[in-house]
A and B are shown apart, each in its own frame.
Chain A
Amino acid sequence: MTVVSQNPPSTNGIAEALQSFAGRPGAGIFLFLVVFLPVISFFAPQMLQEANLAGILNQMVFIFIPTLGMTIVIISGGIDLSVGSVIGLSGGVAASLLGVGLPLPLALMAGIAAGAAIGFLNGIVITRLKVPDFVATLAMMGVVRGVLYVWTSGVPFRNYMDPAYYLIGGLRMVAGKLTLPVFVALALLLILTFVLKRTWIGAHFRATGSNAEAARLSGIRPARVKLMAYVASGTLAAITGVMLAGRLTTVHPAMGAGYELETIAAAVMGGAALSGGRGSFWGALVGALTLTVIQNAINILNIESTWENIIIGGIILFAVLIDRAAMALSRTALRGRPH
């Protein structure tokens, strides 16, 4: 899933491997994380405890899954700002259906279907009506959020929980200290990686994102590809939303607000390029993990709350800096190699 020049044959296997690894999307952030964690744990040993690491994974899922969708959209050359609102609405759909007595599996599926439908709508407005994706998804963000407010009348949905939903939302552990959403995320990661790496779909996404005209000339239908990307984004956001509704046990009309920027940050930190054609799911994982680890570190070190945003902003920039440095390093190194 990378756009890196072919490795020329060489004798220094490890150095080569490292340099080509450094060029992969998200590698720099990964290195940052690998260095960051031990350093921080020097100040707060609890960070590396099994319970905390499991906790990080449990929390990360709710940013990671929508980031998977965002990565797909970004690879195909678009952007989706409505993710946060879809998380809220899909959770609301599931919660209210549960509230009127629908069985849990049906309620969850309905919520996910709602997200897919919104994604489809986004795709139509963008590909058929030719509204630019930023504006279209920005407007959708407002419309979907407004719908949730009108539906809830400003007061959260409540009293829809049952024991199974506690499990699905991740409020009860299933395997050791891990919760169910982690396994859902893992499954999605594996499925999507397989689909995008081994099937034509992935190639089409990347081609459309890099150069839609060229893609069209080679027989790909960019409009259809983009539509699929938005449906995927909406669906993944909805999966997050229905799980989140279980985790929070209420659906507040503002649920999910702000997730879109975090998701984009995670995707871009993970190497997705907003110009399209580039991105990776493992990068998305690293990006989501980084954001969660930062928040975890702030809490565990009990850093004064007023400094929170400064730290987050600073670390995002620092992490991207390292990523860029790593990329630059790998490119110059490879360029310097004799053929």
Chain B
Amino acid sequence: MADREETMDKGGMSRRQIFGTAFAGAATAAGTAMLGSLGSAAMPGRAFAQDAAGGGAPTSIAWGDEAWRKIVADKVAGRTLKIGFTGPAASEFYDEIEHGAFAQMRAYSDLFGVKWDWTYASPQEHQDINDQVNTIEAWVTNKFDAVLVCTAGDFESMQNVYARAETAGTRVFQFNMPAELWDESQNRAISNIGYNNVMQAGYLAGRYIATKLGGKGKIILIWGLPGHWSTARRKGLDIALAEFPDLKIVGEQRGDYVRDKALNAAMNLLQRDPNINAIYGENEEMALGASQAIQALGLKPWDGTDGIITIGADGLKSGFESIKEGQMTATVSVGAVDQGRQSIETIFWNLIFDQVPPKVFNVRTQVVDKTNVDEPLAYVTWALSVPKI
């Protein structure tokens, strides 16, 4: 009792009040505990956890204290940060990244009083890079504080517009780009928040297939549009499969990231040889299409010991649900929600305090299958429930 009175005297606001107001109405207690754990892993000393019980004595540690929070809030001074977010296409995946960002933005609003002006854009024509450059130019003209960019083009395509943005005062951050493919020092973006497509995606998928099949079997691959994601994931897959000479790639065709083309390609390849052991779809849309092809042809999906493995990469809610139902076998969750959250963390501390983030920040990824799908599914479901900014 005395303890609590003491804390009330200090700042005029009880510890419970500070942390209890975070995520008002938006997050579950589990979610907020996760928020704290992410922050602690990413930037020690910079995250907050809601009091799990919501009302009783604090059971979880709160990073920083009221004095620190006040300094930050004073520096923020109620400022509105104008952010532009542009991805190469509209999809479930980019929607998840956005929601991760919404969650972190709301958290910071509650804690530090920062306001957000968030604009989303994606090109009219799928993956049109020039369209995105035009959009960024408009945002720079409108004096946006920061732009968060992901394009289908390589680093080089965007360096012109990044340089101009820099000069005009708009800070540039990238997300979801395979930074490992390029020379880091050539990238004018302040930070690239993503994951290593080679080792954290392609490689993991390859290893999963190899492990489940005991190092032996026939694989078919369905690729997306030619571009850097395909290139990087291919590299990783090759590295993984190089250790297993009895695993043979017997077919690879394009699915161009769309379900109908992938469905047809998978059907045709399976028609040609139904004795396939695994299908890798470069993204989940295509892997899901492949899993439907298997069903449509009356073939057997993987049940743990027998059948055809289907594995994709993205970490979509629909993918997790399909895994839970046993249709798709597995996927590489590339941390979409975490990318969104980490992007906001990076942007906030860089904009407000000029703190320097790493040039490349890779989030955690993991292979998700029926044995471990519950946590990622719950995490994504929570993120998607956060209201838009």
Touch test A–B (CB under 8 Å): yes
Q: Which chain B residues border A255 with CB–CB below 8 Å? A: 260
Given contacts A252-B259, A254-B126, contact A302 B289 (CB under 8 A): no
How far, in whole Å, are A84 and B253 apart by their CA atoms in the complex?
23
With A248-B259, A250-B318 as contacts: A171 and B292 at CB distance below 8 Å: yes
Q: Are A300 and B271 in contact (CB under 8 A)?
A: yes
A154 in contact with B296 (CB, 8 Å): no
Whether B90 lies near A154 (C-beta < 8 A) is yes
- State whether A308 and B268 are in contact (beta carbons under 8 Å apart), knowing that A158-B318, A249-B292 are contacts in the complex: no
Nearest CB to that of A59 among chain B residues?
A: B264
When distances are taken between beta carbons in the complex, the residues of chain B under 8 Å from A170 are: 296
Does the CB pair A305–B223 fall under 8 Å?
Answer: yes
List chain B residues, Cβ under 8 A from A46.
Answer: 271-273
Q: Quick check: is A2 within 8 A (CB to CB) of the other chain?
A: no
Q: Are A299 and B90 within 8 A (Cβ)? A: no
Residues in B whose Cβ lies below 8 Å from that of A142: 124
B289→A248 contact, CB < 8 A: yes
Which residues of the other chain, B, contact A248 by a CB distance below 8 angstroms? 259-260, 263, 289, 292
Q: Which residue of A lies closest to B255 (CB)?
A: A305
Question: Do B265 and A299 touch across chains, with their CB atoms under 8 A apart?
Answer: yes
| B330 touches A (CB below 8 Å) | no
In the bound complex, do residue A55 and residue B258 qualify as a contact, i.e. CB atoms below 8 Å apart? no
In the complex, chain A residues whose CB is within 8 Å of the CB of B289: 248
Asked if A156 is at the interface of the complex by the 8 Å CB criterion, the answer is: yes
Q: Is the CB of A302 within 8 A of B122?
A: no
Which B-chain residue is minimally distant from A295 (CB atoms)? B264
Cβ–Cβ contact A299 & B272, under 8 A: yes
Q: Which residue of B lies closest to A172 (CB)?
A: B296
Contact in complex: B269, A299 (CB < 8 Å): yes
Which A residues are CB-close (under 8 A) to B226?
305-306
- Residues on B with C-beta less than 8 A from A244 are 260
* Chain A residue nearest in CB terms to B93: A155
> How far, in whole Å, are A158 and B320 apart by their CA atoms in the complex?
13
- Chain B residues 246-277 with CB under 8 Å of chain A are 250-254, 258-260, 263-265, 267-269, 271-273
B254 touches A300 (CB 8 A): no
Does any Cβ of A come within 8 Å of B91's Cβ? yes
CA A306 – CA B259 in complex, angstroms? 19
Most buried by A among B91, B271, B292: B271
Q: For the complex, give the distance between the alpha carbons of A62 and B258 in Å.
A: 15
CB pair B295–A171 under 8 Å, yes or no, is yes
A300 lies within 8 A of B272 (CB): yes
- B288-318 toward A: CB 8 Å interface, digit per residue (1/0)? 0100100110100000000000000000001
A155 to B94, CA, bound (A): 9
**Which residues of A lie under 8 Å from residue B250 when comparing CB positions?**
302
Chain A residues lying within 8 Å of B269, measured Cβ to Cβ, are 299-300, 302
Interface residues in A161-177 by Cβ distance below 8 A to B read: 170-173
B285 interface residue, CB < 8 Å from A? yes
Check: A151 CB closer than 8 A to any chain B CB: no
Task: Write out the residue numbers on chain A whose beta carbons fall within 8 Å of the beta carbon of B92.
Answer: 155-156
Is B66 engaged at the interface, CB distance under 8 Å to the other chain? Answer: no
Does residue B95 face the partner (Cβ distance < 8 Å to A)?
yes
A305 touches B264 (CB 8 A): no
Query: Mask for A246-284, Cβ within 8 A of B = 1, else 0?
Result: 011110111101000000000000000000000000000
> Smallest CB–CB gap between A247 and chain B, Å?
7
Residue of B nearest to A256 (CB): B260
Q: Which residues of B contact A254 (CB under 8 A)?
A: 89-90, 126, 258
Q: A158-B318, A300-B272 are in contact. Are A250 and B259 (CB under 8 A)?
A: yes
In the complex formed, the residue of B with least CB distance to A305 is B254
Q: How far, in Å, is A277 (CB) from chain B's closest CB? A: 33
Cα(A253)–Cα(B92), bound, Å: 10
Distance in Å: Cβ of B69 to nearest Cβ of chain A: 34
* A21 interface hit (Cβ, 8 Å): no
Given contacts A302-B252, A305-B253, A306-B226, contact A55 B268 (CB under 8 A): yes
Residues B252 and A305 in contact, CB atoms below 8 Å apart:
yes
Q: Is the CB of A49 within 8 A of B254?
A: no
Q: B260 contacts A247, CB within 8 Å? A: yes
* CA gap between A308 and B126 in the complex, in Å: 19
Q: Which residues of A contact B260 (CB under 8 A)?
A: 62, 244, 247-248, 255
Given A59, A173, A253, A302, which contacts B251 in the complex, CB threshold below 8 Å? Answer: A302
Tell me the residues in window 277-299 of chain A with beta carbons closer than 8 Å to chain B beta carbons.
295-296, 298-299
CB-contact partner of A149 in B90, B252, B258, B267, under 8 A: B90
CB distance from A45 to the nearest CB of B (A): 10
Q: How far is the CB of B177 from chain A (nearest CB, A)?
A: 20
Quick one: closest A residue to B90, CB to CB? A154
Indicate whether A44 reaches chain B with its CB closer than 8 angstroms. Answer: yes
Contact of A298 with B253 in the complex, beta carbons under 8 Å:
yes
Residue of A nearest to B264 (CB): A59
**Shortest beta-carbon distance from B157 to chain A in Å:** 20
Instruction: Please state if B126 and A300 are interface contacts (CB–CB under 8 Å).
Output: no
Chain B residues with a Cβ under 8 A of chain A: 89-92, 94-95, 122, 124, 126, 223, 226, 250-254, 258-260, 263-265, 267-269, 271-273, 285, 289, 292, 295-296, 298, 318
Name 20 interchain pairs, CB-CB below 8 A, sorted by A: A46-B273, A52-B272, A59-B264, A154-B95, A156-B92, A171-B295, A173-B298, A247-B263, A250-B259, A252-B258, A253-B90, A254-B258, A257-B126, A299-B253, A299-B264, A299-B269, A302-B250, A302-B272, A305-B254, A308-B254
Known contacts A55-B267, A306-B226, then 4 further A-B pairs from the complex at CB < 8 Å, ordered by chain A residue: A249-B292, A254-B89, A299-B268, A305-B226
Across chains A and B, which 8 residue pairs bring their CB atoms closest together, nearest first?
A154-B90, A299-B268, A305-B254, A171-B296, A300-B272, A52-B271, A248-B259, A155-B95
